[in-house]
Amino acid sequence: MNRRKGLLVIGLATGLLCSCGPSQPARQTLDFWTIGREGEAVTKLLPEFERLHPEIEVHLQQLPLSAAHQKLLTAYAGDSTPDLTQLGNTWISELVALHALEPLDERVAHSSSVVATDYFPSIWATNRLDGQTYGVPWYVDTRLLFYRADLLRAAGFATPPRDWAEWSRMLAALSARNDGKHFGILLPTNEYDQLTALALQQDEPMLRDNDRYGNFESVGFKRALTFYVSLFQQRWAPAITNVEAGNPWSEFGRGVYAFYLSGPWNIGEFRARLPAAQQNDWSTAPLPGPQGPGASSAGGSSLVIFRRSTHKQAAWQLIEYLSQPAIQQRLYELLGDMPPRRSSWLGGTLRDDAKAQAFRDQLERVKPTPAIPEWERIVNEMQLVAARAIAGELSIDQATAELDRRVDAILEKRRWMLERDDHRGQR
């Protein structure tokens, strides 16, 4: 409240000053949308930008994650998109399908600060569709293991697991009490990220024939699903949703779970929520794969410019500013958002942060999910079917067959459009 009042005073003062002084060169107002927690942090980064670019005024709008998707599509339908926005990289294909985003290759090629080769290749790839770049990665998100090092040591394991077999042995040892109150790992049954990461570790892709059909009956996906479901069947993981899990951080602290498969923001959460005495008890490790260290998902957010924007150059200047290693390091300090470019990892608190280093390691081994607008829906179906398999309602074969059936139905429109375009191309 106080700060808002302060801003008001500053605003009024500048207003008065400007009205007295000579008229400024055409001042531009940039509409910038952020999604989720970044909105708050970015308010601390923007004053510096506005100082460097006095002709640009950034008008920031913070969208909650739950409403962002709908708001973006509604804005597109209502012709009221902002100049630029933060955008989860799994949503890029959707907005590209709508022809809503501006291709950025030209600007990237001439930029001295946005250097494509400095970025983790898989993360950069999530922003490229049909040979064009539509976004600049802003921060990355992947899934790996948080673990209680003290509990692992007590069970006789000095290092975190490297492959599934070793991981299973640890989970078995940690769940030995089997009292229904202590588990090896927390995997909320309504979150698809964990199974997605395990499925990405397989050689077979989850969709086939240029993403026309589901490929969930492949050997690879069946292996991933079997392993995932077995974690629940062995009672190493409780079959609960994240609604019931409530406060996983304090339960992790209490030793209810020894492993937690989650993303980078939880480094900050655990630092804030666990007592100081416990800070040496937990750590992070790359995700174990079927044989040796495995891949994980290439998530994260990018910065994109809308085609309808009338201030594209100014928007690009803001993207260049937010892409500087020093700014990305500040974003990490503010929120724990991990930078997508290697040079950002060379300095600041990141370089010496042991708990962040596992992510640095994992980021060299991340894989993107299929870049089609239907993907969000497909992974949702995947998790719904997986939850049925966990509950014992479907066998692995039944579940994967059902999943392929549902996914093929979802992709019907895509097949029709691709075929039509093929015919047109031939003619």
Partner 1 sequence: MNQQRTAWLFLAPALLVLGLFFVLPVIAALLLSLTDYDLYALADLRNLRFVALGNYWALLQRPLFWSALGNTCYFVALGVPLSMATSLGAALLLNSPLARCKPFFRTALFAPVVTTVVAVAVIWRYLFNTKYGLVNYALGGLGLHPVDWLGDPHWAMPTIILFAVWKNFGYNMIIFLAGLQAIAPELYEAARIDGASAWRQFRHITLPMLRPTLLMVGILTVAGYFQLFAEPYVMTEGGPLQSTESVLYLMYDEGFKWWNLGSASAVAFLLFALMFAFTALMLRTARRAEHADGVSS
Q: At what angle do helices 219-233 and 396-410 cross, to 10 degrees?
A: 120
Packing angle of the helix pair 219-233, 375-390 (nearest 10 deg): 50
Among 12, 13, 65, 77, binds partner 1 (CB under 8 A): 77
76 lies in the binding site for partner 1 (CB under 8 A): yes
- The reply on whether position 48 binds partner 1 by CB under 8 A is no
Looking at beta carbons only, is 51 or 99 nearer to partner 1?
99
Q: Which amino acid is at 364?
A: E
Nearer to partner 1, 12 or 391 (CB): 391
Is the Cβ–Cβ distance between 359 and 287 less than 8 Å? no
Given the structure tokens 């979150």, which residue do they identify? 191
Q: Decide if residue 401 touches partner 1 (CB under 8 A).
A: no
**Closer of 273 and 377 to partner 1 (Cβ):** 377
Q: Does 257 bind partner 1 (CB under 8 A)?
A: no
CB of 391 to partner 1, least distance (A): 6
Does 65 contact partner 1 by CB under 8 A?
no
Q: Which residues contact 100 (CB under 8 A, 6 or more apart)?
A: 76, 81, 306, 307, 308
For residues 404 to 423, the per-residue mask of contacts with partner 1, x marking binding by CB under 8 A and - elsewhere, is: ---------x--xx------
Q: Which is nearer to partner 1, 5 or 99 (CB)?
A: 99
Binding-site size, partner 1 (CB under 8 A):
27
Q: Are strands 299-305 and 183-186 parallel, antiparallel or unpaired?
A: unpaired
CB 384 to partner 1: min, Å: 7
Judged by CB under 8 A, does residue 173 bind partner 1? no
Under a CB-based contact definition with an 8 Å cutoff, are residues 170 and 300 in contact?
A: no
Phi, psi at residue 22, to the nearest 5°?
A: -70, 155
Q: At closest approach, how far in Å is the CB of 244 from partner 1? A: 5
DSSP 176-242: TT-SSS-EEEE--TT--HHHHHHHHTSSS-SEETTTTEE-TTSHHHHHHHHHHHHHHHTTSS----H
Contact between 52 and partner 1 (CB under 8 A)?
no
What is the end-to-end Cα distance of the chain in Å, rounded?
64
Q: Does 307 interact with partner 1 (rule: CB under 8 A)?
A: no
- Where do contacts with partner 1 occur on this chain (CB under 8 A)? 69-70, 73, 76-77, 94, 97-99, 189-190, 239-241, 243-244, 246, 373, 377, 384, 387-388, 391, 393, 413, 416-417
